[in-house]
Amino acid sequence: MRIAASVERSRGAVQLGRSPASVGAVSRLDSLRSLQQHLPPAVVDRLRPAVQSARRVVGARVPTTPPGPSPYVQWHGPDATSSTPALACTPIADIVLLQGRAPASSVVEIELSDGRRLAASHRFLHPDAAGHGPADFFELTLDHHVLTSGDPTSYPQHATLIVDGTATPHSVEIPGVPSPAAIVGVEHLNECPACSHDIMMPTGRRQFLEMKTCQQCALVMTSPRPAEDHTLVRYSERYFEEEYLPSQQLSASLTAHIDSILDRVEAAKAISPMLFELGVGGGNLSARATERGWTVRGTDVNPASVQHATARGLDVWLENVDHADSLGGAYGAIVSEMSIEHVRHPEHFCALAADALVPGGQLVVYTVSAEGQSFEHSGMASPLVGPAEHLFLYSAGSLVALCERNGLRVDLVWRNHSADEIGIVASKRTDVANPAIR
Ligand SMILES: [Zn+2]
C-alpha cells in the first residue's frame, strides 16, 4: 500500500504529514500493524510466546509521553548561516562524504591536484528537497569513479571542494582521498546478528553503501560494511563538538523523552540502583538518571564524549563495546538510547547486558526503526538512513530476537512511527541463576 506523504518541519523535528484522503488508510494500516504481522511466518512461530507477551504488555501500559516527533534536532551537519558556507568532509572507506551549507545559487566544484575542475553533480538538498533540513544544505558523496572521471590512471593525490556562492569562494581540502587500492577490510555479513538467519535481500544503496534486510526478523543492515577503523574515525572530537552536541541541547521535550526512557526501568531500581548506559554521548541521560537516584556508570567510544561526560561528574570510561569483555559491574538497569544502531556486534552487547543484569534487572534499548514512517515512505532517501554510521535499522522482530536469544524476557516493545524510533524493554529472568552474582 502506498500512501502519499508530504513533509513538513515542526518544532525542529521532522514529521510526515498526510493528505486527508490518506488518513483513513493510514489509520487502517496502523490498526493492522502488530508485531506478528511484521514478522515472517517462520519467526512468528518461533517467537510467538514472546510476541504475545510483548503485545499484552503493550496493551496494558500507556506510554509516559504520547508518540510525537523526535525531540532531537535532525540536522547534524556544520552549523552556519546561509551566507557563510560551512563544509565538513569525512572519508569513509572508499568514499568521501561531504556535508555543508551554502547559498542555493552556489557553484560547487572539485578541483583536483592536476588542476582539473569537476562539477559536483551529486549536490542535492537533504534528503529529497521536500522541505525538511535547512534549505541551503547539501550533501554529496564522492568515490574514485567521480574523482578519476572514469580514468583510473588519473587518480588525484589531492582534491579541494570549492563552493563559490559569495564574494570570497570557500574551499576545503578533501582529507585523505582514498584510492581504490585503499579499500581494505570490507566486511560482509553472511548471517543476521539478531536471529542468525542467512538470507538477506538487497534493500537499497546510499553513500555508495548497500543495505540488506534479514528475511526472518526484518533487521536492516549495512552489508558489506566498511572496516571498523574506517567507521570509528567518524567519532572524532570535531564530530562530537560540531555535529553531536548541538543536537543534544536540553529542552523540555528532550528531558521528557529521557524521562520516558528511564520510566521504563524505574521499577528495577528497587532491585539494584546501579544503572549502566551504553554510549553516554553528551551525558544528558546519565545525568538525569543520577538525579533520579541511580548510581550511573557508562561508556562511550568517543574520547571527546568521555571527557565531556567526566567533566559533568559522571562515571564514564572509554570503551568500544564490540571489544569489551564485560560491562564492568552488576546492574539493575542497562540503557542504550540511540546508540545500538552504531554498534557493529549488537548480539555481543546483548550477551554482555544479560550477564551484567542482576536477576529481575531490565535492559531498555531505544533506537532507529526500520518500521517507521519515513523509511517506509522514503526508503533509502529517509534522513535516518546513513549506512556508514547507522549500521543497523531495527525492527520489532530483530529486537525481540536479540533479547530472547540471550535469555532475556521481553516485557515491552513500543514504536514511535512518526519519529522512526523503536524501543524494547527486556528483563533478566529471575529463574536463571547468575553465578557471577550469586
Ligand atoms: Zn534476522
46 and 121 both lie in a single domain: no
Of 351, 289, 361, the residue nearest 326 (C-alpha): 351
pLDDT at 93: 45
Distance 220 CA to ligand 1 centre (A): 8
How many angstroms is it from 118 CA to the middle of ligand 1?
Answer: 42
What pLDDT is attached to residue 211?
Answer: 87
Residue 83: HSE in the Cβ half-sphere, 13 Å Cα cutoff? 1
User: CB–CB of 190/366 below 8 Å?
Assistant: no
Measure 140 CA to ligand 1 centroid, in angstroms. Answer: 31
More confident residue, 86 or 319: 319
Is residue 53 domain-shared with residue 140, that is, in the same domain?
A: no
CB 261 within 8 A of CB 292: no
How many Å lie between the centroid of ligand 1 and the Cα of residue 312? 38
Expressed in angstroms and rounded, the spacing between residue 410 Cα and the centre of ligand 1 is: 17
Per-residue CA distances from 388 to 225, 229, 268, 315 (Å) = 7, 12, 35, 29
Domain that holds residue 147: 86-182
CA distance 398 to 300: 24
State whether 247 and 394 are in the same domain.
yes
Asked whether residue 278 falls in the same domain as residue 311, the answer is yes
Q: Which residue has the cell 582534491?
A: 159
Largest CA distance in the chain: 71
Q: Which residue has the cell 540502583?
A: 273
Is residue 70 one of the residues assigned to a domain? no
Dist. CA 11 → ligand 1 center (Å): 35
The closest of 397, 398, 373, 419 to 260, measured between CA atoms, is 419
**pLDDT bracket for residue 212 (50, 70, 90):** very high
Residues 58 and 178 in one domain: no
The H-or-E segment that residue 9 falls in is strand 5-10
Q: Are 46 and 111 found together in one domain?
A: no
Query: How many Å apart are CA 401 and CA 398, to the nearest integer?
Result: 5
Least confident of 28-37, 308-317, 318-327: 28-37
- Cα 403 to middle of ligand 1, angstroms: 12
257 Cα–ligand 1 center, Å = 28
Q: Is residue 203 part of a domain?
A: no
Query: C-alpha cell of 373?
Result: 514512517
Predicted confidence band of residue 128 (pLDDT cuts 50, 70, 90): very low
Supply the pLDDT for residue 208: 64
For 322-360, write each residue's pLDDT tens digit.
999 999 999 999 999 999 999 999 999 999 999 999 999
Confidence (pLDDT) at 6 = 29
Last residue of a domain, one of 156, 182, 208: 182
Looking at the fold, whether 127 and 254 belong to one and the same domain comes out as no
Question: Tell me, what amino acid is at 33?
Answer: R
- The residue type found at 392 is F
Instruction: State the distance from the centre of ligand 1 to the C-alpha of 262, rounded, in angstroms.
Output: 28
CB atoms within 10 A of CB 117: 12
351 CA distance to ligand 1 centroid (A)? 16
DSSP one-letter code for 228: H
| Residue 393 Cα to ligand 1 middle (Å) | 11
Distance 176 CA to ligand 1 centre (A): 35
* Residue 87 pLDDT: 61
What is the C-alpha to C-alpha distance for residues 302 and 23, in angstroms, rounded to an integer?
43
pLDDT at 149: 58
Same domain for 308 and 400, yes or no, is yes
Judge whether 9 lies within some domain. no
Q: Which residue has the cell 488518513?
A: 23
Average pLDDT of the residues in 149-157: 59
DSSP 349-379: HHHHHHHHEEEEEEEEEEEEBSSSHHHHHHG
| Banded pLDDT at 161 (limits 50, 70, 90) | confident
**Ligand 1 midpoint to CA 50 (Å):** 16
What pLDDT sits at residue 369?
94
> Which has the minimum average pLDDT: 186-195, 219-228, 315-324, 380-389?
380-389
Q: Is residue 417 included in any domain, yes or no?
A: yes
Question: Are residues 101 and 50 part of one domain?
Answer: no
Residue 279 in any domain: the answer is: yes
Cα separation of 92 and 107, whole Å? Answer: 24
Distance, CA 340 to ligand 1 centroid (Å)? 15
Residues 307 and 161 in one domain: no
Residue 428 CA to residue 358 CA, distance in Å, equals 7
Cβ atoms of residues 367 and 425 within 8 Å: no
Give pLDDT tens digits for 66-76.
445 444 433 33
CA 197–ligand 1 middle distance (angstroms): 5
Q: What is the pLDDT of residue 119?
A: 66
Question: Ligand 1 centre and the CA of 198: distance in Å?
Answer: 8
Average pLDDT in the chain: 73
Joined together, the cell numbers standing for residue 324 give 569489551
Find the Cα–Cα–Cα–Cα dihedral 389, 395, 398, 403, rounded to 10°: 90
Which pLDDT does position 157 carry in this prediction?
62
User: Is the pLDDT at 1 greater than 70, yes or no?
Assistant: no
pLDDT at 15: 30
Q: Is residue 433 part of a domain?
A: no
The H or E element that residue 181 is part of is none
Question: Which segments within 170-222 are labelled E, that is strand?
Answer: 170-173, 200-206, 209-214, 220-222
Ligand 1 midpoint to CA 63 (Å): 27
Cα 212 to middle of ligand 1, angstroms:
11
Say how many Å lie between the CA of residue 401 and the centre of ligand 1: 8
Q: What is the CATH number of the domain that holds 335?
A: 3.40.50.150
The rounded Å distance from CA 386 to ligand 1 centre is 20
Considering Cα of 205, then 216, then 430, then 436, what sign does the dihedral take?
A: negative
Residue closest to 418 by CA, chosen among 366, 377, 363, 361: 377
Residues β-bridged to residue 274: 295
Q: What gap in Å lies between CA 339 and CA 426, rounded to an integer?
A: 17
What is the distance in A from the centroid of ligand 1 to the CA of 196? 6
Per-residue confidence at 438, pLDDT binned at 50, 70, 90? very low
CA of 47 to the centre of ligand 1 (A): 12
Residue in this structure with the C-alpha cell 528483563, named with its chain if needed = 427
Residue at a domain's end among 182, 199, 222: 182
Say how many Å lie between the CA of residue 215 and the centre of ligand 1: 7
199 Cα to the center of ligand 1, angstroms? 8
- Residue 196 in any domain: the answer is no
Identify whether residues 392 and 325 lie together within a single domain.
Answer: yes
Give the distance (Å) from ligand 1 centre to CA of residue 345: 13
Q: Kindly report which listed range (128-132, 146-150, 313-317, 364-368) carries the lowest average pLDDT score.
A: 128-132
**What confidence score (pLDDT) does residue 228 get?**
87
Tally of domains in the chain: 2
- The answer on 240 and 340 residing in a single domain is yes
Q: Ligand 1 mean position to 191 CA, how many Å?
A: 8
| Assigned domain for 73 exists | no
CA of 51 to the centre of ligand 1 (A): 15
Higher pLDDT, 210 or 27: 210
**Residue 115 maps to which CATH number?**
2.60.40.10
